[in-house]
Amino acid sequence: MAGKMDEKILCFSAALLDELGRFQGISFEVEKYFPRIVTPPNCHYVQRGEAENDPSEKQVIPYALFLYRDSIFAYRRGKRGSESRLRELYSVGVGGHIDWMKDVSLFKKDHEKYPDAMLREIAEEVNLAPGYTESCVALINDDSNEVGKVHFGVVHLFKLADSNISKKESVITDAGLIPVERAVRNLDQYETWSQLCLRQIERLLERSASVASMI
């Protein structure tokens, strides 16, 4: 039986990132990078087992934040999570890989596949009530650690209409809305990508008011 490492996941060449301008941390230049990295022939599917240890490939990861008023959805990654390097760390980002078997449709144009994949991944991990707004607000590249070297985050901010959000995945623990201020105060408990987002949360909120929804 095929396992997670046999999945074919969406990647783009790290050389393209160098061509566009490699950055460290968060970039708000979504329009500069995003269309290029998700449009063939720049993007392609690679077996996950190979991509996880190959920094010449960047895996595209939708990374969704959920905010309700002054609170943000946070959770702790369980001991059985698929990414061993992030186990037991707290996170405010929900997302995952774009999988060829789950997300490729012959009836969709290239630019339509990514939003569907993002929503599919979110639906696997959390229960989300309708009535939210969404915006693609930033990108993450973090070459400071082994996980970051092979991943590239696309940050989406969801503003919830109510507090009705809950975990679905069994590997997610301690899940729920917490005050943003508390998350910022305890940054050292969070995975690197969440730290980057929490440090820039005010600017992410500003961006969400000025960019179009992707869904």
Longest CA span, the chain: 46
CATH number at residue 57: 3.90.79.10
Domain extent, residue 68, equals: 4-208
Residue 215 lies in a domain: no
Residue 33 lies in a domain: yes
Residue 214 lies in a domain: no
What's the number of domains the chain is made of? 1
Residue 37 lies in a domain: yes
Residue 156 lies in a domain: yes
pTM: 0.91
Reading the chain (215 residues) residue by residue, the pLDDT tens digits are 457 777 899 999 999 999 999 999 999 999 999 999 998 899 999 999 999 999 999 999 999 999 999 999 999 987 554 444 545 799 999 988 988 777 665 445 555 678 888 998 899 899 998 899 999 999 999 999 999 999 999 999 999 999 999 998 877 888 999 999 999 999 999 999 999 999 999 999 999 998 878 87
Residue 9 lies in a domain: yes
